Chains A and B, each alone.
Chain A
Amino acid sequence: RHDARNWCLVNALDAPATVVVGLNGKPKRLLDEALVHRDRVPVLRRFSGGGTVVVGRGTVVATLIANKADAPCEPFPRSIMRTTGAWYARVFDDVLVHREAANGGGGGGLELREHDYVVEGGLKVGGNAQTITRDRWLHHTSFLFDYDDASMDYLTLPENRPEYREDRPHAAFITRLAPRLRSDTLRDRDAAALLADGLARVLDDDAFVVEEVDPSEALHVLETARATPTTATGRPWRATSRPLLEEYPYEPPST
């Protein structure tokens, strides 16, 4: 909201497991509160829509922010995801070892299925969420290159879930990207660099002029946003606007 440029931000997380709920997610319904409290897991609420994720070491978060006038899609969720889904399919097409789905269906590389990025037809490797304003949209994705199996126990089976998931628990629904990468792709770079290089290539192919900047430039925009009580047009910021991330002050579950 405080910068008019198109952005592509890639972050490799290096922190213990953290739960992140969507704009109006209900932790009491979405989490195993006893486990979360036992392990003192931070629970954050983000400003975008979408579901609940556990992020930490092995998660690479990619954020795309585009002006409506520059992006090849309508500023609605399904249109945005078709565009970003096509981009990410191309990013991963060269680096994934393509495997067929266990049931013989689907397969190939990474693809968008309903609202998720999956491999092998139905194993989720990336969850995404969006925020849409009149003139810009943001699409961010948490890619699961690696994760701790036990951390997925913090999440319950959500009521609102994609049809293709059926009733699969998290352990049977998600999978890691790292074991599916071609052995030569991570030789000289880490997962974040792999993703960033792929996005730069795809966006450059799609007529964007890609300029690499130091992360401090993005941090500067965030700091300016926090310190500025107005939008980029000088209007007062809506009092009910949510912060980028806020810690959920959950109470210990009643026994």
Chain B
Amino acid sequence: VAPKRLSETPTPSPTPIKLTMMMQRGLLRVAARAARATPALASTRRCALSTYFTSSHEYVKVEGDVGTIGISAHAANELGDIVYVDLPTVGDAVEKGETFGAVESVKAASDVYAPVNGEVTEVNDKLGETPSLVNESALEDGWFIKIKLADGAADTLGELMSPEAYEDHIKK
């Protein structure tokens, strides 16, 4: 909804300041939505934590040059009960668009793909004992690996989907 300009106000407003403030808040809300929709424009200095999704249902949460990677809650739900997660080891390189591991559910083994280039710095060891964390908390406790983003990797984040765009993607 576009904010009204003062000149379009149908009656003289006894509270022009309030209207102006409303306009400003509206503009600020629009500006905030624009910033989230174009994460590539956010510098690593300004962007505290941003989450991006791939069309193959992985996510990467980026904070500085650290990325936390896992599969989306939608993917975890569609796969069913996760019984095993096959992960790389610390020091391995992951390459954008290439498989870095696999998730096994009751009846299927599914490849998982790296959303961005980087080097594995941490592996979620809890998944060895409790793979169900992926079903219970895909975007939090059920993360798979943490990586140090490779040089230039941040520039490729704009090719991924925002949370809103991913929601639209899975509704199709």
Contacts and interface: CB of A to CB of B under 8 A. Distances in A.
A49 B108 contact: yes
Given A23-B104, A160-B106, A77 B111 contact: no
A133 B111 contact: yes
Nearest to A48: B109
A175 interface: no
B104 A24 contact: yes
Interface string A225-239: 000000000010010
Nearest to B170: A74
A142 interface: no
Nearest to A235: B98
Interface residues of A, number: 26
B109 A130 contact: yes
Nearest to A237: B99
Contacts of B81: 160
B165 to A, nearest CB: 18
Given A78-B80, A240-B86, A22 B111 contact: no
Interface string A79-90: 111000000000
Secondary structure dominating the interface of B: strand
B107 A47 contact: no
B79 interface: yes
A102 B74 CA distance: 39
B88 interface: yes
A208 interface: no
A1 B80 CA distance: 24
Interface of B: 56, 75, 78-81, 83-84, 86, 88, 95, 98-102, 104-111, 113
11 contacts: A23-B86, A23-B109, A48-B109, A77-B78, A77-B105, A77-B106, A77-B108, A115-B107, A131-B108, A133-B99, A160-B83
Interface of A: 22-24, 47-50, 74, 76-81, 115, 128-134, 160, 235, 238, 240
